[in-house]
Amino acid sequence: MSKCNTANAATKHITDEVLALIEQSVQDISFGSITLVIQDSRVIQIEKLEKIRICDQLPKAVVKTTAVASMPGVRTRVLQSVSGMEYGKVVIQIQAGQIMQVERTEKYRVGKLTGLNGDGI
């Protein structure tokens, strides 16, 4: 299977309902992060961490309006970040209602390792 086909196969496991839930989670947070946990090329868990800034000058309604205006690229960015990943996490950092950073941490499952107990060395 080519790399392009593998990436397309991985993104097919993310349903429109999951993407809508991710978009809604991003819209609900002014400051914080959304972590997507990926297992077997599927989003199995969404973690929301919201930070409440006491000294923030912007009213929440203004920040929410800004967040809604910046949403069109969320689905594309999430699909790109999750594409081809079997195991790992994607963290979406949000500041003042804007997506500031997307981190992708991929994990690899390794079969039987040689050399751990002196064999194969």
Residue 8's pLDDT is what?
Answer: 47
pLDDT score for 2: 42
- Note the pLDDT of residue 119: 59
* DSSP string covering 98-118: EEEEEEEEEE----SPSSTTS
**What pTM value is reported for the model?**
0.70
Strands (DSSP E) found in the chain: 32-39, 42-50, 87-95, 98-107
- Domain residue limits, the chain: 3-107
Query: Given this model, what pLDDT does residue 88 score?
Result: 95
Which parts of the chain have pLDDT scores under 70? Answer: 1-12, 56-72, 112-121
